[in-house]
Chains A and B, each alone.
Chain A
């Protein structure tokens, strides 16, 4: 499963910036606002081609992970331009090679629509986040509006072949992994959301 996911995102790396260019324009400001509280040691999950690094505050030390080597190759240039320190690492979100309570801030952008076993991945984030740390999420999720949700369900078998699932309950998964969601904001309909979560009890 992991090799299949890696191959899929290696293929997607070729066209990713072109396909997401309008989304980047539309959501850049919302991402910037979400990430402005990032501080200390930071983890950015599924950094992709690296364009989200431009929305991070300057001066941070960021461990930027992705499962795809091709994505990380493309992220080199944005990482080099970031006014801080970025370490690009190929790693599976479900098996993070970091000690418990390592990071002050963790940022994810459209990540848990793709990670197989999302709750397992989110539990890993729970483990490596410091007790007073913050998980910052910019994710698309399944709508609660029936006709739109049905469309997302119908298109997911197709979209999954090329990229992400369209119908994940990511904020529900965040809670299932032991986080407490402290802010949830709709950015486009109730599909594209920005949010913050902290470690819950346990």
Chain B
């Protein structure tokens, strides 16, 4: 949500899509780093860093492109941002469940 809001405040319709994508990734990564510094000590560094980087870097690209193409309202921006955040955190948790445990290959 924070990523989507920050990008919405900066990138407006009419931006070149590639520039919007790059700027979106940069803003998203900055928001992610701030979230990591604030939330990492309470939730776990990796637990914030991994979904945060997906939302920040890759989500930032998507939000940047979206904002360059269409005029979206704040409500839509925040709802879609929250949805992406929930999906990213859930996907990482499911993947963690898949990967966790002894790794084949070691003796």
Residues of A in contact with B (beta carbons under 8 Å apart)? 18-23, 26, 140, 145, 147-148, 151, 154-155, 158, 180-193, 195
Contacts and interface: CB of A to CB of B under 8 A. Distances in A.
B84 interface: no
Interface stretch (B4-12, B72-80, B97-105): B97-105
B96 A183 contact: no
Interface of B: 29, 33, 40-47, 49-50, 53-54, 57-58, 92, 95-96, 99-103, 105-107
A19 B45 contact: yes
Contacts of A186: 99-101, 103
A181 B107 contact: yes
Contacts of A188: 44, 46-47, 96, 100
Contact of A22 (B29, B42, B57, B95): B42
B54 A190 contact: no
A183 B102 contact: yes
Residue among A21, A184, A189 with max Cβ neighbours from chain B (10 Å): A189
Nearest to B102: A185
A147 to B, nearest CB: 7
26 contacts: A18-B41, A19-B40, A20-B41, A21-B41, A21-B42, A22-B47, A147-B54, A147-B58, A148-B50, A148-B54, A155-B49, A181-B106, A182-B106, A184-B106, A185-B101, A185-B102, A186-B103, A188-B44, A188-B46, A188-B100, A189-B50, A189-B99, A190-B99, A190-B103, A192-B46, A195-B106
